[in-house]
């Protein structure tokens, strides 16, 4: 089953705080993706874009642009407990 996200909060240093329906809370470091994935670099270069994170209607994906998104299972697997 794909985990559903209840709440997202972008904070300083490209950390995304995420709360899931199952009660899990993680801090996901998006900076690592910015450093390794070319499409994610726009989050660093376009002022304010990172803070504009959105949750898709299925609540299984956080996105910023059509090319920059994170699935909930990746966030849950690689995020650190918060």
Nearest to 49 by CA among 35, 69, 32, 29: 69
Q: Residue 11: which domain range? A: 5-81
pLDDT digits (tens, 9 = 90+) for 37-63: 999 999 999 999 999 999 999 999 999
According to DSSP H, which parts of the chain are helical? 31-36, 42-45, 72-78
Total domain count for the chain? 1
Distance from chain centroid for Cα 25: 12
pLDDT of residue 20: 98
pTM for the model = 0.95
Which CATH number covers residue 49?
A: 3.30.2020.40
Q: Is 75 helix (H, G, I), strand (E, B) or coil?
A: helix
pLDDT of residue 1: 87
Share of the chain above pLDDT 90, in %: 99
Residue entry with tokens 């994935």 = 37
Share of the chain above pLDDT 70, in %: 100
């Amino acid at each position: 089953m794909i985990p559903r996200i209840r709440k997202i909060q972008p904070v300083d240093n490209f950390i995304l705080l995420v709360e899931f329906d199952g009660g899990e809370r993680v801090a996901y470091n998006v900076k690592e993706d910015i450093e390794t994935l070319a499409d994610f670099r726009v989050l660093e270069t376009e002022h304010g874009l990172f803070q504009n994170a959105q949750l898709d209607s299925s609540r299984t994906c956080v996105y910023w642009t059509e090319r920059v998104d994170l699935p909930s299972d990746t966030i849950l697997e690689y995020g650190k407990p918060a």
